[in-house]
């Protein structure tokens, strides 16, 4: 019960310390001794167990003979001054398309394509070492770090894949580039000014 309550509370955005406090309040109100002895370290351990279990399930799904391909989508963002790289995976299993949010990895180094690539590959190798043989799609935003044709992340990922890879980048970003280019072309850019 403690485990399930902790995971429920974390899943709605509560910090580990808040979860421990909420469970302690529930224990005090209900007089249930089953809920005693929780703290933020135990909540953190519960979350680690759940994350590890889910990552193992994803690795097992990838290893299924029915899964012959995967598509990856990556995007960088910053939250409260901390840069993160968000990784999603799409696979088809038993006729169903699964869109999985794998991980948001904190970026402590500069957000260069090489740093992101190294982090990306290290994570994927740890998750499922045969990912290169199943990668058929890679998508990202239009940031040069992601799409640069010589050293961008997508270019590097395509180069290490064992099969041809379909490269996609976000349609709204593509439309934005076309609109900007077209607008700048009207009367030499004076229309935009």
Average pLDDT per consecutive 10 residues, the chain (193 residues; last block may be shorter): 94 94 94 90 95 94 90 76 82 88 79 81 93 88 58 81 79 62 69 57
Amino acid 15: pLDDT: 94
Q: Which residues contact 151 (CB under 8 A, 6 or more apart)?
A: 113, 114
Q: What is the pTM of this model?
A: 0.71
Q: Which residues contact 176 (CB under 8 A, 6 or more apart)?
A: none
Decide: 105 and 118 in contact? Cβ < 8 Å.
no
Composition of the chain by helix, strand, coil, percent to 5: 50, 25, 25
Decide: 111 and 83 in contact? Cβ < 8 Å.
yes
Per-residue pLDDT of 30-40, as tens digits, reads 999 888 889 99
């Amino acid at each position: 019960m403690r485990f399930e309550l902790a995971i429920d509370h974390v899943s709605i955005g509560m910090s580990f310390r808040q979860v421990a406090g909420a469970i302690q309040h529930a224990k005090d109100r209900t007089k249930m001794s089953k809920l005693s002895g929780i703290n933020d370290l135990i909540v953190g351990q519960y979350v680690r167990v759940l994350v590890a279990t889910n990552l193992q399930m994803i690795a097992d799904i990838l290893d299924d003979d029915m899964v012959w391909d995967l598509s990856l989508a990556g995007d960088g963002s910053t939250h409260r001054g901390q840069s993160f790289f968000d990784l999603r995976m799409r696979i088809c299993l038993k006729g169903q398309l699964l869109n999985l949010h794998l991980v948001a990895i904190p970026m402590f180094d500069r957000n260069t394509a090489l740093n992101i690539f190294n982090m990306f590959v290290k994570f994927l190798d740890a998750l499922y070492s045969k990912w290169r043989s199943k990668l058929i799609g890679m998508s990202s935003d239009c940031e040069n770090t992601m799409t640069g044709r010589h050293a961008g992340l997508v270019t590097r990922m395509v180069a290490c894949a064992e099969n041809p890879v379909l490269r996609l980048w976000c349609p709204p970003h593509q439309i934005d580039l076309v609109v900007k280019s077209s607008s700048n072309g009207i009367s030499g850019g004076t229309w935009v000014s």
